[in-house]
Amino acid sequence: MATKNSESKEKSNKGKVVIVSGPSGVGKSTICKEVIKRLNNAHLSVSVTTRPKSENEVDGKDYWFITEEQFRKRINEGSLLEYAEVFGNLYGTPKDKTEEALRAGETIILEIDVQGAKQIKIRYPAAVMIFILPPTQKELAERMNLRGREDAKAAEERLNGASIEVAAAWQYYEHMVINDDLEQAVKEVVQIIK
Ligand code: 5GP
Protein backbone atom coordinates (compact mmCIF):
# COMPACT_ATOMS: atom_id res chain seq x y z
CA MET A 1 0.00 0.00 0.00
CA ALA A 2 1.29 3.47 -0.84
CA THR A 3 2.26 5.60 2.13
CA LYS A 4 1.02 9.16 2.42
CA ASN A 5 4.46 10.38 1.42
CA SER A 6 4.75 8.31 -1.70
CA GLU A 7 1.20 9.27 -2.68
CA SER A 8 2.00 12.95 -2.49
CA LYS A 9 5.22 12.35 -4.37
CA GLU A 10 3.29 10.61 -7.11
CA LYS A 11 0.85 13.46 -7.24
CA SER A 12 3.61 16.03 -7.56
CA ASN A 13 5.02 14.03 -10.47
CA LYS A 14 1.77 13.87 -12.40
CA GLY A 15 2.35 16.97 -14.50
CA LYS A 16 5.03 17.72 -17.03
CA VAL A 17 7.73 20.39 -16.99
CA VAL A 18 8.74 21.75 -20.38
CA ILE A 19 11.67 24.14 -20.75
CA VAL A 20 11.77 26.37 -23.79
CA SER A 21 14.94 28.40 -24.33
CA GLY A 22 16.48 30.30 -27.17
CA PRO A 23 18.19 33.57 -28.00
CA SER A 24 16.44 36.93 -27.61
CA GLY A 25 14.24 37.72 -30.55
CA VAL A 26 13.98 34.13 -31.80
CA GLY A 27 10.23 34.09 -31.20
CA LYS A 28 10.01 31.92 -28.06
CA SER A 29 7.08 33.83 -26.58
CA THR A 30 5.06 33.73 -29.79
CA ILE A 31 5.68 30.01 -30.15
CA CYS A 32 4.85 29.26 -26.50
CA LYS A 33 1.60 31.27 -26.60
CA GLU A 34 0.50 29.35 -29.68
CA VAL A 35 1.56 25.98 -28.22
CA ILE A 36 -0.51 26.59 -25.07
CA LYS A 37 -3.62 27.13 -27.21
CA ARG A 38 -3.13 23.75 -28.89
CA LEU A 39 -2.56 21.64 -25.79
CA ASN A 40 -5.03 20.61 -23.15
CA ASN A 41 -4.01 21.56 -19.67
CA ALA A 42 -0.85 23.50 -20.46
CA HIS A 43 0.21 26.76 -18.87
CA LEU A 44 3.01 29.22 -19.29
CA SER A 45 4.88 30.09 -16.11
CA VAL A 46 5.13 33.84 -15.42
CA SER A 47 8.63 34.70 -14.21
CA VAL A 48 9.67 37.48 -11.87
CA THR A 49 12.28 39.90 -13.18
CA THR A 50 14.13 43.07 -12.23
CA ARG A 51 14.27 44.10 -15.91
CA PRO A 52 12.34 47.30 -16.59
CA LYS A 53 8.97 46.71 -18.23
CA SER A 54 8.82 47.66 -21.90
CA GLU A 55 5.84 49.52 -23.34
CA ASN A 56 3.98 46.51 -24.75
CA GLU A 57 4.38 44.31 -21.71
CA VAL A 58 1.79 43.74 -19.00
CA ASP A 59 2.75 43.21 -15.36
CA GLY A 60 1.56 39.80 -14.19
CA LYS A 61 1.10 38.54 -17.73
CA ASP A 62 4.49 38.80 -19.45
CA TYR A 63 6.45 38.98 -16.19
CA TRP A 64 6.03 40.07 -12.63
CA PHE A 65 8.22 43.18 -12.65
CA ILE A 66 9.81 43.57 -9.22
CA THR A 67 12.68 45.47 -7.60
CA GLU A 68 16.06 43.92 -6.90
CA GLU A 69 15.25 44.09 -3.17
CA GLN A 70 12.03 42.14 -3.69
CA PHE A 71 13.91 39.65 -5.86
CA ARG A 72 16.59 39.09 -3.19
CA LYS A 73 13.82 38.57 -0.64
CA ARG A 74 12.30 35.87 -2.85
CA ILE A 75 15.68 34.14 -3.13
CA ASN A 76 16.14 34.24 0.65
CA GLU A 77 12.68 32.86 1.41
CA GLY A 78 13.29 30.05 -1.11
CA SER A 79 10.24 30.87 -3.20
CA LEU A 80 12.03 30.57 -6.55
CA LEU A 81 12.58 27.25 -8.32
CA GLU A 82 15.57 28.68 -10.16
CA TYR A 83 16.97 32.08 -10.93
CA ALA A 84 19.75 33.61 -13.01
CA GLU A 85 21.26 36.91 -14.04
CA VAL A 86 20.73 37.49 -17.75
CA PHE A 87 22.09 40.60 -19.49
CA GLY A 88 22.46 42.42 -16.18
CA ASN A 89 18.96 41.69 -14.85
CA LEU A 90 17.63 38.98 -12.56
CA TYR A 91 14.99 36.49 -13.71
CA GLY A 92 13.40 33.69 -11.71
CA THR A 93 10.65 31.08 -11.79
CA PRO A 94 8.13 31.23 -8.91
CA LYS A 95 7.95 27.91 -7.11
CA ASP A 96 4.32 27.90 -5.93
CA LYS A 97 2.64 28.19 -9.33
CA THR A 98 4.80 25.48 -10.92
CA GLU A 99 4.29 23.04 -8.08
CA GLU A 100 0.55 23.73 -8.04
CA ALA A 101 0.32 23.05 -11.78
CA LEU A 102 2.29 19.82 -11.49
CA ARG A 103 0.14 18.58 -8.62
CA ALA A 104 -2.92 19.26 -10.76
CA GLY A 105 -1.40 17.12 -13.53
CA GLU A 106 -0.87 20.05 -15.86
CA THR A 107 1.94 20.80 -18.28
CA ILE A 108 3.90 23.85 -17.27
CA ILE A 109 6.09 25.60 -19.82
CA LEU A 110 9.07 27.53 -18.50
CA GLU A 111 10.51 30.05 -20.92
CA ILE A 112 13.92 30.45 -19.33
CA ASP A 113 17.61 30.75 -20.20
CA VAL A 114 20.23 27.98 -20.28
CA GLN A 115 21.49 28.68 -16.72
CA GLY A 116 17.96 28.32 -15.35
CA ALA A 117 17.30 25.24 -17.47
CA LYS A 118 20.26 23.45 -15.90
CA GLN A 119 18.89 24.16 -12.40
CA ILE A 120 15.42 22.90 -13.36
CA LYS A 121 16.81 19.73 -14.94
CA ILE A 122 18.51 18.85 -11.63
CA ARG A 123 15.24 19.34 -9.76
CA TYR A 124 13.04 17.71 -12.41
CA PRO A 125 15.16 15.22 -14.39
CA ALA A 126 12.17 14.31 -16.56
CA ALA A 127 11.80 17.91 -17.77
CA VAL A 128 11.62 18.17 -21.54
CA MET A 129 14.22 20.61 -22.87
CA ILE A 130 13.58 22.43 -26.14
CA PHE A 131 15.86 25.05 -27.68
CA ILE A 132 14.56 27.36 -30.40
CA LEU A 133 17.07 28.41 -33.06
CA PRO A 134 16.83 31.18 -35.64
CA PRO A 135 17.35 30.13 -39.28
CA THR A 136 20.49 32.31 -39.41
CA GLN A 137 22.27 34.83 -37.20
CA LYS A 138 21.46 37.58 -39.72
CA GLU A 139 17.74 36.77 -39.47
CA LEU A 140 17.94 36.97 -35.66
CA ALA A 141 19.55 40.43 -35.88
CA GLU A 142 16.79 41.57 -38.25
CA ARG A 143 14.03 40.25 -35.98
CA MET A 144 15.55 42.02 -32.98
CA ASN A 145 15.70 45.24 -34.98
CA LEU A 146 12.08 44.87 -36.00
CA ARG A 147 11.03 44.24 -32.42
CA GLY A 148 12.79 47.46 -31.49
CA ARG A 149 12.68 46.77 -27.78
CA GLU A 150 16.37 47.30 -27.01
CA ASP A 151 18.67 50.19 -27.83
CA ALA A 152 21.60 49.42 -30.17
CA LYS A 153 24.02 48.59 -27.35
CA ALA A 154 21.63 46.22 -25.57
CA ALA A 155 20.70 44.58 -28.88
CA GLU A 156 24.36 43.96 -29.66
CA GLU A 157 24.91 42.48 -26.20
CA ARG A 158 21.96 40.13 -26.72
CA LEU A 159 23.22 39.07 -30.14
CA ASN A 160 26.64 38.26 -28.72
CA GLY A 161 24.95 36.34 -25.91
CA ALA A 162 23.00 34.35 -28.51
CA SER A 163 26.17 32.70 -29.86
CA ILE A 164 27.20 31.61 -26.37
CA GLU A 165 23.70 30.29 -25.61
CA VAL A 166 23.46 28.34 -28.87
CA ALA A 167 26.85 26.72 -28.21
CA ALA A 168 25.75 25.69 -24.69
CA ALA A 169 22.43 24.42 -26.00
CA TRP A 170 24.07 21.85 -28.31
CA GLN A 171 25.43 20.24 -25.20
CA TYR A 172 22.38 20.27 -22.93
CA TYR A 173 19.15 20.27 -24.93
CA GLU A 174 17.40 17.15 -26.18
CA HIS A 175 15.43 19.00 -28.84
CA MET A 176 16.41 21.81 -31.18
CA VAL A 177 13.69 23.49 -33.24
CA ILE A 178 14.44 26.01 -35.99
CA ASN A 179 11.96 28.86 -36.11
CA ASP A 180 12.00 29.56 -39.82
CA ASP A 181 8.29 29.08 -40.38
CA LEU A 182 6.21 29.83 -37.25
CA GLU A 183 3.48 27.26 -37.95
CA GLN A 184 6.05 24.53 -38.53
CA ALA A 185 7.96 25.43 -35.37
CA VAL A 186 4.75 25.40 -33.28
CA LYS A 187 3.78 22.01 -34.69
CA GLU A 188 7.21 20.58 -33.85
CA VAL A 189 7.10 21.87 -30.28
CA VAL A 190 3.57 20.48 -29.77
CA GLN A 191 4.72 17.13 -31.14
CA ILE A 192 7.73 17.01 -28.82
CA ILE A 193 5.60 17.81 -25.76
CA LYS A 194 2.97 15.22 -26.65
P1 5GP B 1 13.78 39.02 -22.00
O2 5GP B 1 14.37 40.17 -21.25
O3 5GP B 1 14.13 39.09 -23.47
O4 5GP B 1 12.31 38.88 -21.77
O5 5GP B 1 14.47 37.69 -21.44
C6 5GP B 1 15.86 37.57 -21.45
C7 5GP B 1 16.24 36.14 -21.17
O8 5GP B 1 15.84 35.76 -19.86
C9 5GP B 1 15.61 35.13 -22.11
O10 5GP B 1 16.61 34.19 -22.51
C11 5GP B 1 14.56 34.46 -21.26
O12 5GP B 1 14.31 33.13 -21.68
C13 5GP B 1 15.24 34.49 -19.92
N14 5GP B 1 14.29 34.31 -18.81
C15 5GP B 1 13.03 34.77 -18.71
N16 5GP B 1 12.46 34.38 -17.57
C17 5GP B 1 13.39 33.65 -16.92
C18 5GP B 1 13.40 32.94 -15.67
O19 5GP B 1 12.45 32.90 -14.90
N20 5GP B 1 14.56 32.31 -15.34
C21 5GP B 1 15.66 32.31 -16.15
N22 5GP B 1 16.72 31.64 -15.74
N23 5GP B 1 15.68 32.95 -17.32
C24 5GP B 1 14.56 33.61 -17.71
Percent with pLDDT over 90 in the chain: 73
- Å from CA of 93 to ligand 1 middle: 9
What is the rounded average pLDDT of the residues 2-11? 42
User: Comparing C-alpha atoms, which of 93, 95, 94 is closest to residue 84?
Assistant: 93
Could you tell which of 48, 71, 112, 143 is best to mutate to test the pocket of ligand 1, judged by most ligand atoms within 8 Å of the CB? Answer: 112
Predicted pLDDT of residue 149: 77
Rounded Cα gap, residues 81 and 96, in angstroms: 9
Q: Which domains does the chain have, with CATH numbers?
A: 13-193 (3.40.50.300)
Nearest atom in ligand 1 to 165's CA: 10
What is the rounded average pLDDT of the residues 8-25? 76
Distance from chain centroid for Cα 82:
11
Nearest atom in ligand 1 to 80's CA: 19
Q: Is the dihedral of CA 92, 101, 122, 1 positive or negative?
A: positive
- The residues with which 129 forms a beta bridge, in sequence order, are 19
Question: pTM of the full predicted structure?
Answer: 0.89
Main-chain dihedrals φ then ψ at residue 173, nearest 5 degrees: -90, 140
